[in-house]
Chain A
Amino acid sequence: FQAVRKMPKVDARQRFYPADHEPAREKGPKPAPAKLRASITPGTVLILLSGRFRGKRVVFLQQLPSGLLLVTGPFAVNGVPLRRVNQTNVIATSKKLDVSRVRVPAEAATDAFYREPAKDKKQRLKAANRGEGVFFATDDISADKPDVPESRKAAQKAVDEAILAGVDDITKAYLRARFSLRSGQYPHEMKF
């Protein structure tokens, strides 16, 4: 039982007056970015487990400020561009490439570089929802797809060239191949 009820401060001319006094909730502290697994170090080959590129083997570059991992295919080898990936959706293998010479451009080491701008997202969803009229669509659907910005292409080129410099053919074939399980293979019994 509250002896003195603290009423919320309201403007007398408001259209809406809250019925109960709900104190404004304080925003809690921002959680720290996820701790990077010890098995994931720059240059580690990772196996992506979900998303468009599931099964692909990619090279880990660095952890972004949000905690997500920055990886690259390299693009020329397996079609995976500079991309963010969550370490929960990843298996770290014991294969490590030398990425000491790789210098990720400063702007490409931020999360904002990889965030889809709202306008592009709208276009993408529009094209995806076109489903019913696909057969009769007279306009070119691919025209709705936004072009990859030049900064992305340049960053990709710079990073991939440095990675592929000392890589031998068998490693390239390894990165090109997709991971899959065969009969009798059990991930909890396998060493990666």
Chain B
Amino acid sequence: MVFTRFVEVGRVVLINYGPDSGKLATIIDIVDQNKCLVDGPSTGVARQVISFTRIALTDLTVKIQRNAREKTLNKAWEEADTLNKWESSSWAKKLSAKKKRASLSDFDRFKVMVARKQKSEILSKKMAELEA
């Protein structure tokens, strides 16, 4: 089993816990075995030391040098098209689906229920056709 996601300068991470939870940031520098310096100027994360237990590594990296400045970091993000790559990943899609589901109103939930029933009806009709 080979590891592919490493803690390294330039690794894009998702913050899981704390006031910035749900936001993306990049590892700028590594403090010690438990903490790293993280920054996400385009996603609203201030430059800060954060524990590894509060972040999740993603597949994405950005080409920067250690302790890159915010301007350089932003440029590197744009060049790598990081935000779009993230939004098109299934991880990000699942997160946004969960958020949407939690924000549905009572009427929305009713419409979803009706839509699921209609979809199920279409599927079962088709299955009956194929089995016949």
Q: Which residues of A contact B (CB under 8 A)?
A: 45, 47, 57, 93-95, 170-171, 173-174, 177, 179, 189-192
Q: Which of chain A's residues have a CB closer than 8 A to the CB of B106?
A: 45, 47, 57, 93-95, 179, 190-192
B107 and A93 contacting across the interface, CB-CB below 8 Å: yes
Alpha-carbon gap, A51 to B104, bound state (A): 27
Chain A nearest CB, measured from B116 CB (Å): 12
B103 and A94 contacting across the interface, CB-CB below 8 Å: no
Q: How many A-B residue pairs have CB under 8 A?
A: 32
**Interface secondary structure of A, over-half rule:** mixed
Q: Mark B109-122, 1 if CB is under 8 A from A, else 0.
A: 01100100000000
Chain B nearest CB, measured from A52 CB (Å): 21
Name the CB-closest residue of B to A93: B106
Alpha-carbon gap, A45 to B105, bound state (A): 12
B1 within 8 A of A: no
Alpha-carbon gap, A71 to B107, bound state (A): 18
Q: Which of chain B's residues have a CB closer than 8 A to the CB of A47?
A: 106
Chain B nearest CB, measured from A30 CB (Å): 36
How many chain B residues sit at the interface, stated as a range, is under 10
B105 and A191 contacting across the interface, CB-CB below 8 Å: yes
Alpha-carbon gap, A52 to B84, bound state (A): 53
A94 and B107 contacting across the interface, CB-CB below 8 Å: yes
A174 and B110 contacting across the interface, CB-CB below 8 Å: yes
Name the CB-closest residue of A to B111: A170
Name the CB-closest residue of A to B109: A190
Q: Specify which of B103, B104, B107 is in contact with A174 (CB 8 Å cutoff).
A: B107
B102 within 8 A of A: yes
Q: Which of chain B's residues have a CB closer than 8 A to the CB of A179?
A: 106
Q: Specify which of B102, B103, B105, B114 is in contact with A95 (CB 8 Å cutoff).
A: B105
Alpha-carbon gap, A153 to B103, bound state (A): 39
Q: Which of chain B's residues have a CB closer than 8 A to the CB of A173?
A: 110, 114
Alpha-carbon gap, A155 to B64, bound state (A): 73
Pick 20 A–B contacts, CB within 8 A, sort by A.
A45-B106, A45-B107, A47-B106, A57-B106, A93-B106, A94-B106, A94-B107, A170-B111, A171-B107, A173-B110, A174-B107, A174-B110, A174-B111, A189-B102, A191-B102, A191-B104, A191-B105, A191-B106, A192-B105, A192-B106
Residues facing A in B61-106 (CB within 8 A) are 102-106
Q: Which of chain A's residues have a CB closer than 8 A to the CB of B111?
A: 170, 174
